[in-house]
A and B are shown apart, each in its own frame.
Chain A
């Protein structure tokens, strides 16, 4: 994966001084590695933000891009459901006042789905570990996760999904459409492969949320902490 894309390594090396990869670059990295990501633009000006929003159509999501803000929601740095030009400009201007503002990530609103977390951590004793769990902002409250040493085999992935307390939500709970298990398995395995290749360069990765529905599994937000 990396061999075929020196661009992935360039993204990581350019983020070295910050210690982590900003969301627009992380999204680009996952896109280069073959994962589905929402359509987005990294807008430095309101003009760029408006241009993109009009092109893909409202509503859109806006997120602060700052090397000083690792947890965007904590500072009100994520706004969803922005429906018009005026609201987008207003949000953009508020973000400009946040610490370390570099620009705004504007992206398409994704249709609903189940929010999972797909993560990786390079453990001192056990090397690369893969984590799958119920995602979203409450991830550390629910702590509904399963954890395995990477690389994962195809056999291990279903057991990881089965190991979640909330697995019935993925199977189509109370009339909801089930999550596309094939796509989810594929995403997890591809992630395991990517993590093994990045082992020496990263400390941890959160894809949170990984937004999964009947149709697809999308990297809705990602954070890559460097190390090695």
Chain B
């Protein structure tokens, strides 16, 4: 099945638009694509009429050109007929927004649309979903455009069983500067599920990191998914819900009891190098870090800061996750001491974490970064920056990023995220180094690089 028409449609037909009910979800989809996206869009309703000055077509046969993507937002009972109509009219793909299928007990209706599509090798997403959002290209989410928070265009693609979780994470992505390539809400995933979308995104040149929010898999679907993910060559991140054991199913063996649904899920993921995020903070941190750095590390971190407390907090967070913070040899420490500024030289603490103290200036950070990056024992640098220290300038992010780039080792920064410090943060981000708003988040970014085994 060719999924390209779903993500890169040039023409689109929206079934279910209404000239009478202006709040109909189909109207929202029609209007936003008409006004904001480079896709030719037609509205369809058997009653005809007009919408935004555009003629509503009575059927797909009235549309003068071939349609790449049908968006179906009609009542569930009508969906099989609309789907068949699309297939007859040589439409190339569909997203079925309508609810009222397996999720409300109508498995029969869902089975019918699966059968219709299978017979014609016709790809569709849904039903019971928001569908597809590709920034600057197409948007089938029925949410008013002005209410959506949209992240910048980037290289992370997100596939979600829940539309709400997806839209919420787009907000978080926007807040943390994680860029989006494609977002897909797959709803009941009747025909296209995680393994199929993984296949597509693995070959999508715009996607470098693939994220899934998963509630559960069908029979053996998880096995198929992890085997594909293990070979796809791109970092795959999974956020799972439904971890607590459901019901009081009688368990007869110790193995069945110890290897419950979630234990098996989690074990299979880590076996194939898939990065499981425990919660939203982990998810966003992992995305930010892996969208920039794809080369796995072992996790031997050098930490530089101007506050002993920050260094200790970061060390603890590293230790809790089994990330090493290697000690520095005497000769490394002596070498570093010589190149620090005179006011820092005598008071800095040159163990790892390195505390340059409140007297530290940009040059001290750069010298420390040079020393740590040059060490074989260290494969990642964590810079915990407090922008209110007088010696730090807004250029420090750019300066440290350049040192990291020269050594081809990842640099991860912590800077408190408030408007006032935006220039410092930009200096890192514009030069390709991720910045976390928390120490824990910065350590999670290191953790992502360690766990990723593409």
Contacts and interface: CB of A to CB of B under 8 A. Distances in A.
B271 A124 contact: no
B220 interface: yes
Nearest to B252: A225
Interface string A121-157: 1011111010101000001100101111100000010
B220 A119 contact: no
Given A125-B218, A125-B220, A126-B226, A120 B255 contact: yes
A192 B167 CA distance: 42
A208 interface: yes
A88 B75 CA distance: 74
Contact of A206 (B219, B253, B267, B268): B253
A147 B257 contact: no
B254 A125 contact: no
A106 interface: no
A202 to B, nearest CB: 10
B217 A125 contact: yes
A130 to B, nearest CB: 9
A125 B261 CA distance: 8
B264 to A, nearest CB: 4
Contact of B252 (A125, A140, A204): A204
Contacts of A208: 254
Contacts of A70: 252
A126 B263 contact: no
B252 A127 contact: no
B375 interface: no
Query: Interface majority SS on A: helix, strand, loop or mixed?
Result: strand
A208 B254 CA distance: 9
Contacts of B226: 126, 149
Given A204-B252, A223-B253, A123 B258 contact: no
Contacts of A147: 258-259, 263-264, 267
B223 interface: yes
A212 interface: no
Interface in A101-129: 117, 119-121, 123-127, 129
Contact of A119 (B221, B259, B268): B259
A131 B254 CA distance: 10
A127 B220 contact: yes
A124 B326 CA distance: 43
B255 A117 contact: yes
Contacts of A8: none
A68 B304 CA distance: 64
B143 interface: no
A184 interface: no
B389 interface: no
Interface string B197-233: 0000000000000000000111111110010000000
Contacts of A126: 217, 220, 222-223, 226, 264-265, 268
Interface residues of B, number: 25
A62 interface: no
A126 B221 CA distance: 7
A27 to B, nearest CB: 16
B281 interface: no
Contacts of B264: 121, 123, 125-126, 129, 147
A127 B227 CA distance: 12
B223 A145 contact: no
A179 interface: no
Nearest to B256: A204
A140 B256 CA distance: 11
Contacts of B258: 119, 131, 133, 139-140, 143, 145, 147
A204 B258 CA distance: 11
Contacts of A123: 222, 259, 261, 264
A160 B420 CA distance: 49
Contact of B219 (A117, A124, A148): A124
Given A125-B220, A126-B265, A225 B271 contact: no
A131 B253 CA distance: 12
B415 to A, nearest CB: 36
Interface string B137-175: 000000000000000000000000000000000000000
Interface in B303-330: none
A223 B265 CA distance: 24
A144 B207 CA distance: 38
B256 A148 contact: no
A139 B258 CA distance: 9
A206 B254 contact: yes
Q: Which of A117, A126, A204 has the most CB of B within 10 A?
A: A126
Nearest to A146: B267
A119 B257 CA distance: 11
B230 to A, nearest CB: 10
Given A126-B223, A127-B220, A129-B267, A121 B255 contact: yes
Interface string B240-262: 00000000000011111111010
A131 B257 contact: no
B338 to A, nearest CB: 42
Contacts of B222: 123, 125-126
A199 B218 CA distance: 17
A67 B27 CA distance: 64
Q: Which of A123, A148, A204, A223: most chain B Cβ within 10 A?
A: A123
A129 B266 CA distance: 12
Contacts of B253: 119, 121, 203-206, 223, 225
16 contacts: A70-B252, A117-B254, A117-B255, A119-B253, A119-B258, A121-B259, A123-B259, A125-B217, A126-B222, A131-B258, A139-B258, A140-B257, A145-B258, A147-B263, A149-B226, A204-B253
Given A124-B219, A147-B267, A203-B253, 11 more contacts: A119-B258, A125-B265, A126-B220, A126-B222, A131-B255, A131-B259, A133-B258, A147-B264, A148-B268, A204-B255, A205-B255
The 10 closest A-B pairs by CB, nearest first: A119-B255, A125-B222, A147-B267, A125-B217, A204-B253, A204-B256, A126-B222, A123-B264, A127-B223, A121-B259
